[in-house]
Amino acid sequence: MKIDHLINGRTIAGTDYFETINPATQDVLAQVASGDQTQVNAAVQAAKDAFPAWARLPATERAKLMRKLGDLITKYVPEIAQTETNDTGQTINQTGKQLVPRSADNFYYFAEMCTRVDGHTYPTPTHLNYTLFHPVGVCALISPWNVPFMTSTWKIAPCLAFGNTAVLKMSELSPLTASRLGELALEAGIPAGVLNIVHGYGKEAGEPLCSHPDVRAVSFTGSTATGNRIVQASGLKKFSMELGGKSPFVIFDDADLDRALDAAVFMIFSNNGERCTAGSRILVQQNIYADFVEKFVARAKRITVGDPLDENIIVGPMISPGHLNKVRSYIELGQKEGATLLCGGLDTPEVSDRVKKGNFVLPTVFADVDNRMKIAQDEIFGPVASLIPFKDEADAIRIANDIAYGLSSYVWTENIGKAHRVAAAIEAGMCFVNSQNVRDLRQPFGGSKASGVGREGGTWSYEVFLEPKNIAVSM
């Protein structure tokens, strides 16, 4: 199979191609066009040409097209989910039941939302000020390889619904489902040039796209290192930077322990641990620490690893051999740093014949982790949990904040005052109290510190995809 660029409604062959590989089997899934400055220029030009008519279209008309695209995604959930699972190793349970259906919801939600964009008035005795919100123009949308379909639709839906046009670049490791989305967008009736897709590597395709002078906004999801590079290379633009995380999952001694255990296991091992909001630092109050560790490890040992197309599997393969090596190197490092390895480790998991060559790693639990260890400070982005004891509320807050990142956080306690105090004190864009990560499309999603700049979701998406203009009329 060949996957080509989508520029101005037409598939454009690459001058060069790279392979996308199934991480469970190592089979080549497709030859993918490898874009560079030439295809980026053509795609940005197509988006620029399509912009005036698309921006002028009444929001109600754009909304109809967004809903149609949502319907097409809903119609093809099984097909898209299977492709996503083959391309990423995310389990079919996740892609088929959650990630792909939720992607359709992004279009339904922003279809509604774009018809409600209103302005503000600031009357004074001498002037009437009012604000208009204009679409910004051509936007660069850059997606990582984890949950790529969901992430890309999370960007495309508000971008297009608000009247912008887009050039999307998916990760070179997981380009397949977005390519299908490009076809569905045309089938839904979204005009040529409104959504363009250039495939390729970060340096060759991503950087020319972000730094293109006709690109007005960059919505990027990926690592902190790449986010930094993009901001430096792109010049003055609107930025939304959704970057890495190392989120604290804080459990006090008065928490509902069974629920906290289930959520802690879910937040580090679901999505193969390849999740930006993973609760990868599990902070447990000292007097319940031993009990928690024993129960957590018992649950971790029950987690099934293997074929991501098998509905009984919880952890599939890592996205690539390179990423597997990175995760394994941290498991090795954790032992050298003096953390106690309680389960998992470097043994190869037993898996079925079909996926014998997959990039598998065992769900791994380290106890007695010191927060200054590298396994506690670096984003491992795999199924590796660090259990860290703490003394009291102040100690929990100190450890939670002793980190470069600030994406998500989790607090478990039955004491309502403590819950609010700790939630307010943790330096992060999001905090979930007595809950795993649950995303409402209206909430501001994003992080602080090294986890990013800007928020997306609901009216927060105005920040990146709409330009406010104040008009002051003298009276």
What residue ranges bind ligand NAD (CB under 6 A)?
142-146, 151, 169, 171-172, 201-203, 206-207, 210, 221-223, 226, 229-230, 242-245, 276, 379, 381, 407, 447, 452
- Beta-bridged to residue 220, according to DSSP, are 142, 241
Name 417's Cβ contacts closer than 8 Å, sequence gap at least 6: none
CB of 320 to ligand NAD, least distance (A): 9
Smallest distance, ligand NAD to C-beta of residue 238, A: 16
Would you call 311 a catalytic residue per the annotation? no
Nearest approach in angstroms of CB 347 to ligand NAD is 25
State the amino acid at position 137 in one-letter form. G
List strands edge to edge, sheet with 364-367.
340-343, 364-367, 384-390, 281-285, 248-251, 410-412, 432-433
User: What φ, ψ does residue 212 adopt, rounded to 5°?
Assistant: -65, 130
> Which structure tokens are listed for 142?
């850059």
Among the options 84, 172, 207, 242, which is catalytic? 242
- Least separation in angstroms between CB 225 and ligand NAD: 7
Nearer to ligand NAD, 62 or 323 (CB): 323
Q: Which residues pair with 102 in a beta bridge?
A: none
Separation between Cα atoms, residue 317 and residue 295, nearest integer Å: 25
Residues in Cβ contact with 75 at an 8 Å cutoff, skipping those fewer than 6 apart: none
Residue closer to ligand NAD by CB (options 206, 358) is 206
Q: Report the residue number, 45 or 277, with the smaller CB distance to ligand NAD.
A: 277
CA distance 150 to 441: 12
Q: How far is the CB of 465 from ligand NAD (least distance, A)?
A: 16
How far is Cα 194 from Cα 165, in angstroms, rounded to an integer?
Answer: 5
Position 468: which residue type? Answer: P
Q: Which is nearer to ligand NAD, 33 or 351 (CB)?
A: 33
Minimum distance of ligand NAD from residue 174's CB (angstroms): 8
Nearer to ligand NAD, 48 or 155 (CB): 155
Choose between 278 and 419: whose C-beta lies nearer to ligand NAD: 278
Active site residues: 242
